[in-house]
Each structure stands twice: as structure tokens, then as C-alpha cells.
Structure 1
């Protein structure tokens, strides 16, 4: 954790507001823009961010699919001002996804298990 003293107050620089994360670009390791952060899912008990839901594909917001990614799979790149995920476009296309009309039942552990299994089973993880 990085902190700075400002006028006697401690400011944490490793924190970010949710509205600053939403809309942030997500890139492949080669720099290809894969999508943007739509929102993220927080564990109600621990308070930890579990997944970030990335808007993927579509045109002008139409035809997007939504891909939940384990939060820990993203690394912030200060040079790009966005997140890097170690996935290719093809891997993202094959990942668990849903569209706006059929969101998953997050209360059912099976969906989270499916997501975790997919990303845990990818090479170079």
C-alpha cells in the first residue's frame, strides 16, 4: 500500500473509486483492445472484488457480450491507462459469457465455478 501525508491526512494511492474502474479499457498482452470494464462483482462477506465484467465485441454498445474475468487476472498498466489480461481475442471469444438480456444467476455457485475453471485451466496462468 502506498500512502502520502497531505495536510496531516493520509491519502492511499492504491485505491480507486468504482466509477473510475468502469469504462476502463482492457487490452491483450500485445496491446489489442479487447473491451472495457462494465462493472465488477464484490463478495458481500469479504468485501473483495471477485470478478470484473468486461464488455466485449458489438458496435456502439449494441451486440456486446459480457465476460466475467477473475479480478486477479487483470494487471493495471499505467502507460496504457488500462488493464492487461493474459488472453488472446480467441480465448476471450471462447470464455464464459452472457448478453444483456440473459444475465447469469450469480447466486448459483455453478456459474462462478464455470468462470473460475475456464480461467484456471488456461495455459500460462
Structure 2
């Protein structure tokens, strides 16, 4: 896979470039846009994804809520490469989030 890969390439690929999913919108189970991918946190020693940070709400980063979500919870649509979660906006809000000054060590279940 080249560095020009996109999320849409994911169904045929083994690897997904991090740059292809950063800032990507994420849809919920009802088709609502839940937010966008803000960061992907890796474990340095293991080289694995610890969690994906979903930014929700706010304007230009002000007032947004950050959510630590396991990469395994996401699906990639084989038709258009869109990212989605099996959650509604209310489900996500009920899980709570974290602020930019207190990042979690693992995803919030």
C-alpha cells in the first residue's frame, strides 16, 4: 500500500494509513455524524493501537468532547470507506468523555 491510500481502500487492504483516517467523520448506528477522528493513540512498546480519539461537538476545537474508543469498535463501510460505530449520539454522550488535559491510559467502555 502506498502513502496515497485512503479509507476507501481499506476493504481490499490489510493496512490502513493513519493519515487516511485522521479527521474522518464517524457515523453512528442511525446515520448521524457522531464526530471526527482526532487522534490515534499507540502503545509504544507493543506497537498496537491503544484507542482512537473521537472528537464530538464544539466549534473549531472549542467546547468539543473527546472520547477514547477501541479501534475494534469501528467498522469501515466496504462501499465508500466511511467509518462508523454501533452507537447513537446519546449512547456516546452517556459514556462520557475526557478533556484535552487528562488523556486516559485506555479506551472508556
- Mapped contact 1:68–1:96 kept (Cα < 8 A): no
Greater RCO (Cα-Cα under 8 Å, separation 6 or more): 2
SS at match of 2:72: helix
Gaps in structure 2 of 5+ consecutive residues: 2-11
The residue aligned with 2:102 is 103
Give the TM-score normalised by structure 1: 0.69
Pair 1:49 & 2:49 matched: yes
How many residues matched?
99
Aligned-residue RMSD, C-alpha? 2.1
Could you tell me how far apart the structure 1 residues matched to 2:16 and 2:52 are? 14
User: Deviation above 4 Å: which 4+ runs of structure 1?
Assistant: none
Give the TM-score normalised by structure 2: 0.77
Larger strand percent: 1
The residue aligned with 2:90 is 90
SS at match of 2:60: coil
Gaps in structure 1 of 5+ consecutive residues: 4-11, 107-111, 119-125
